[in-house]
């Protein structure tokens, strides 16, 4: 059902009943498949080949690629440009939009432009403050926040109009997402904040890194208690830690990130800490896969993108399924075949 009508690049899939986009990510999730998305670190470059090479690493292992928008308030190639380059090849993109740098005029224009290019998934973010990045002298905008951005995108899509009231001739057919942090304090408010994002228009969320599965289960139980499990697709953030030193730095400098002491000790005691970090990531994905209500994982392997295929392969969560990619042979069955 999912694989018989894969598009030629540039030709969208039809929108199925109950869907808001023609995108493959929404199809995978609504079909009950366990989805895998990954984050592409945009280059500090104007060379498109760098984008193509980074995306190719994920071929056959992810259902969609996130194009980040100045994450950490650091300047890189724009998310719009990354999407423009990769959608023409047929990749499924999640375009991140940060409210930090653009007002509602620019943001609405970007959503229309992205949809016109074939972007089917929008991740709505408030964005890190400029003081966190490499241009602290920049002037922040924050005309919108994540909630009002979700509402704005939904207005464009469902009401066929700009915020000004002016009508659209063709609305963006997009699947709307937001970020969530099950591990930020106060913990008891996390599910309630998710409920507000759902009310604003979120259809899927990608979370902060998860290194504590029991804590995740507590969050998911609260989500279920609020009656939200059938209203949102939750993709849990995961990523390999390169070393105990990296883990220490991240939990000190990344707001809302929780890494238990047991994880740090395990890495510190390993002979090859980077490999142990990958092993840990595989184990976490396998455990997360069994948590009720989890729809997939979002892999953030910063400067370790080349590890993604091995991690996903060893986790087994795709269960032999090969996500579409530009080089996949359409004549072959979309199942991973053991090497002969």
pLDDT tens digits, residue range 139-161?
A: 888 999 999 999 999 999 999 99
Cα separation values, 107 from 73, 131, 176, 193, 259, Å? 17, 22, 14, 23, 34
pLDDT tens by residue, the chain, 340 residues: 444 455 555 566 789 999 999 999 999 999 999 999 999 989 899 999 999 999 999 999 999 999 998 777 688 899 999 999 999 999 999 999 999 999 999 999 999 999 999 999 999 999 776 777 688 888 888 999 999 999 999 999 999 999 999 999 999 999 999 999 999 888 889 999 999 999 999 999 999 999 999 999 999 999 999 999 999 999 999 999 999 999 999 998 887 899 999 999 999 999 999 999 999 999 999 999 999 999 999 999 988 999 999 999 999 999 999 999 988 765 444 555 443 2
Displacement of CA 332 from its chain's centroid (Å): 28
Tell me the backbone φ, ψ of residue 38, rounded to 5 degrees. -145, 155
pLDDT tens digits, residue range 77-105?
A: 999 999 999 999 999 999 999 999 999 99
pLDDT given for residue 327 in this prediction: 82
Q: What are the structure tokens assigned to 40, written together?
A: 């592409």
Q: What percent of the chain stands above pLDDT 90?
A: 80
Cα separation values, 307 from 36, 275, 279, 301, Å? 14, 10, 11, 8
DSSP state of 331: T
Nearest to 183 by CA among 211, 159, 163: 211
Q: In whole angstroms, what is the distance from residue 39 CA to residue 305 CA? A: 8
Q: What's the farthest any 2 CA atoms get from each other in the chain?
A: 62
pLDDT given for residue 10 in this prediction: 52
pLDDT tens digits, residue range 10-37?
A: 566 789 999 999 999 999 999 999 999 9
Fold of 24-315: TIM Barrel (3.20.20)
Q: pTM (2 decimals)?
A: 0.93
Query: What are the extents of the domains in the chain?
Result: 24-315
DSSP state of 212: -
pLDDT given for residue 22 in this prediction: 95
Q: What are the structure tokens assigned to 56, written together?
A: 């190719």
């Amino acid at each position: 059902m999912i694989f018989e009508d894969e598009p030629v690049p540039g030709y969208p899939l039809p929108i199925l009943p109950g869907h808001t986009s023609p995108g493959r990510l929404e199809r995978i999730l609504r079909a009950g498949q366990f989805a895998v998305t990954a984050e592409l670190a945009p280059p500090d470059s104007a060379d498109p080949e760098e984008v193509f090479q980074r995306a190719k690493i994920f071929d056959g292992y992810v259902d969609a690629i996130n194009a980040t928008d100045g994450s950490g308030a650091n300047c890189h190639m724009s998310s719009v440009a990354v999407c423009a380059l990769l959608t023409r090849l047929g990749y499924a993109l999640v375009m991140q939009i940060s409210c930090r740098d653009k007002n509602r005029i620019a943001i609405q224009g970007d959503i229309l432009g992205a949809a016109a290019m074939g972007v089917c998934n929008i991740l709505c973010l408030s964005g890190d403050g400029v003081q966190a990045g490499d241009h602290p002298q920049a002037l922040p905008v924050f005309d919108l926040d994540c909630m009002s951005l979700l509402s704005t995108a939904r207005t464009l899509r469902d009401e066929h109009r700009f915020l000004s009231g002016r009508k659209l001739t063709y609305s963006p057919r997009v699947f709307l997402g937001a970020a969530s942090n099950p591990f930020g304090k106060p913990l008891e408010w996390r599910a309630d904040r998710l409920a507000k994002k759902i009310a604003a228009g979120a259809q899927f969320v990608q979370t902060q890194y998860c290194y504590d599965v029991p804590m995740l289960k507590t969050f998911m139980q609260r989500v279920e208690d609020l009656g939200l499990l059938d209203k949102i697709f939750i993709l849990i953030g995961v990523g390999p830690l390169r070393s105990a030193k990296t883990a220490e730095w991240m939990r000190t400098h990344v707001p809302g990130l929780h890494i238990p002491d047991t994880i740090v000790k395990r890495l510190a005691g390993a002979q090859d800490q980077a490999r142990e970090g990958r092993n840990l990531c595989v184990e976490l994905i396998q455990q997360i896969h069994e948590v009720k209500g989890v729809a997939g994982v979002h892999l953030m392997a910063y400067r370790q993108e080349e590890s993604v295929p091995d991690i996903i392969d060893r986790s087994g969560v795709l269960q032999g399924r090969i996500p579409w990619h530009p080089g996949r042979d359409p004549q072959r069955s979309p199942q991973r075949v053991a090497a002969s």
